[in-house]
Structure 1
């Protein structure tokens, strides 16, 4: 197993992590920003108000993006297992 192969596998793993977590982080960011603007507009200073909409938005995003995320991760895992003999030998 060469160092280039290890770097390639790690690079692809990091890309899969970024691709699968990106939509959820973006949804949480946009929801948090919207709640913050709402809080600033109405002068509501409740700290826990931001958590419930974020949790609901991320849950909905998981339902929406979940199949795609799962297919990306399983495709990567399948590729690793199919080429395991090439990586070891």
Structure 2
């Protein structure tokens, strides 16, 4: 197992993790920003106000992107299992 192979697998792992977390994190970020903007304009300082819209938004993001996320993870896992014997020698 060479250093280059380890770095390549680590890089692919980080890219897949970034791809899988991006829809959820971006959705939560956008909803949080909109709710914060609304709270600052209306002077409503309720901390629980942003929880329900974020929860619904993340659920919708998972509903729309879940299939793609699962396929991406399965492809990465299959690719990892294919190159695993080469990594061990």
**Ranges in structure 2 where 5+ consecutive residues have no aligned partner:** none
Paired residues for 1:1-89 under 5 Å: 1-89=1-89
Q: Which runs of 4+ in 1 moved over 3 A?
A: none
| TM-score normalised by structure 2 residue count | 0.95
Equivalenced residue count is: 89
Partner secondary structure for residue 8 of structure 1: helix
**Ranges in structure 1 where 5+ consecutive residues have no aligned partner:** none
| TM-score normalised by structure 1 residue count | 0.95
Tell me how large the CA RMSD over aligned residues is: 0.8
Q: Distance in 1 between matches of 2:18 and 2:81?
A: 21
